[in-house]
């Protein structure tokens, strides 16, 4: 086996290990209990409290979003871990309408995995025509699961680098071969 092929094999093994070790962006939801509960109908809505199965990073980027029937954000934008496995966000002081609301959440577990989930519930309590969405967040914005975060970021950038280097080398190699090939001269001359 040539030195080049040995290096390629070693790199392929390394890529496989890194890929297997990276946190999965499609990890399962980890919700054990919540207030309000999925599918419930509630008359009051002061906060969203989520209890997860796994311990959370104390300073992780956790997000709870409360979205109204019109898609507007009605949480207070201040998600925080209030216990080892519990997240809390406040709701807006007043809500504009009854109907089906959505909770979307993501949380970083102590082992670096990102858990996420979503559910709907119904709000049937008092409403206010003057209610306005808080419009500010201090917990990092939307609840999308980061595609390239933590160890996954390292793997991702490594893959991008390897692909770019391989493509560049192949292109340069092909160009060099065209220039030195005697057949090339014959074809262009005929």
Partner 1 sequence: MVRSIRGAALAVLAAALTACSGQAGGDPAPGGTGMGGMNMGDPDAVPAEQVPGAEVAGGRFELLGTAPQGYQGVAGTAALARHGSGSTVTIELRGLKPGTRFISHVHEGRCEEGGVAHYKFDPAGGDMPPNEIHLAFVSTPEGTGYMTAENDKTAGPDARSVVVHPSEFTDNRIACAPLS
In angstroms, give the least distance from the CB of 153 to partner 1: 11
Between residues 50 and 81, which has the closer beta carbon with respect to partner 1?
50
Q: Which long-range contacts (CB under 8 A, 24 or more apart) does 15-21 make?
A: 15/155, 15/158, 15/159, 15/162, 18/151, 18/154, 18/155, 18/158, 19/155, 21/151, 21/155
Contact residues for partner 1, defined by CB under 8 A? 2-5, 7-9, 11-12, 15-16, 18-19, 22, 24-29, 31, 34, 37-40, 100, 102-103, 117-122, 145, 147, 152, 155-156, 159, 162-163, 165-167, 169-170, 173, 176-177
Spatial separation of the C-alpha atoms in residues 27 and 152, rounded to whole Å: 13
**CA gap 10, 25 in Å, rounded:** 26
Minimum gap (Å) between residue 27 Cβ and partner 1: 7
Nearer to partner 1, 82 or 163 (CB): 163
* DSSP per-residue letters across 92-156: PSS-S--EEEEEEEEEEBTTSPEEEEEEEEEE-S---TT-------SS-S--PPPSS-THHHHHH
Q: At its nearest, how many Å lie between partner 1 and the CB of residue 2?
A: 4
Q: How far is the CB of 132 from partner 1 (least distance, A)?
A: 25
Q: Which is nearer to partner 1, 24 or 138 (CB)?
A: 24
Rank residues 6 and 58 by Cβ distance to partner 1 and give the closer one.
6
Contacts of 24 (CB under 8 A, 6+ apart): 113
The residue (of 134 and 162) whose beta carbon lies closer to partner 1 is 162
Q: How far is the CB of 45 from partner 1 (least distance, A)?
A: 16
């Amino acid at each position: 086996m040539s030195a080049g092929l040995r290096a390629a094999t070693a790199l392929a093994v390394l890529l496989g290990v890194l890929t297997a070790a990276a946190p999965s962006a499609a990890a399962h939801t980890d919700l054990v209990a919540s207030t309000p509960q999925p599918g419930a109908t509630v008359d009051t809505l002061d906060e969203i409290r989520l209890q997860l199965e796994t311990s959370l990073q104390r300073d992780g980027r956790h997000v709870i979003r409360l979205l109204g029937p019109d898609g507007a954000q009605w949480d207070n934008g201040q998600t925080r871990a209030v216990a080892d496995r519990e997240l809390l966000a406040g709701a807006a002081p007043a809500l504009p309408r009854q109907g089906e609301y959505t909770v979307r959440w993501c949380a970083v577990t102590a082992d670096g995995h990102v858990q996420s989930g979503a559910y709907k519930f119904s709000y049937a309590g008092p409403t206010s025509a003057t209610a306005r969405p808080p419009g500010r967040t201090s917990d990092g914005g939307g609840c999308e699961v980061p595609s390239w975060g933590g160890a996954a970021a390292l793997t991702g950038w490594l893959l991008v680098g390897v692909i770019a280097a391989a493509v560049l080398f192949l292109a340069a190699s092909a160009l060099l071969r065209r220039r030195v090939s005697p057949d090339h001269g014959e074809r262009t001359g005929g």
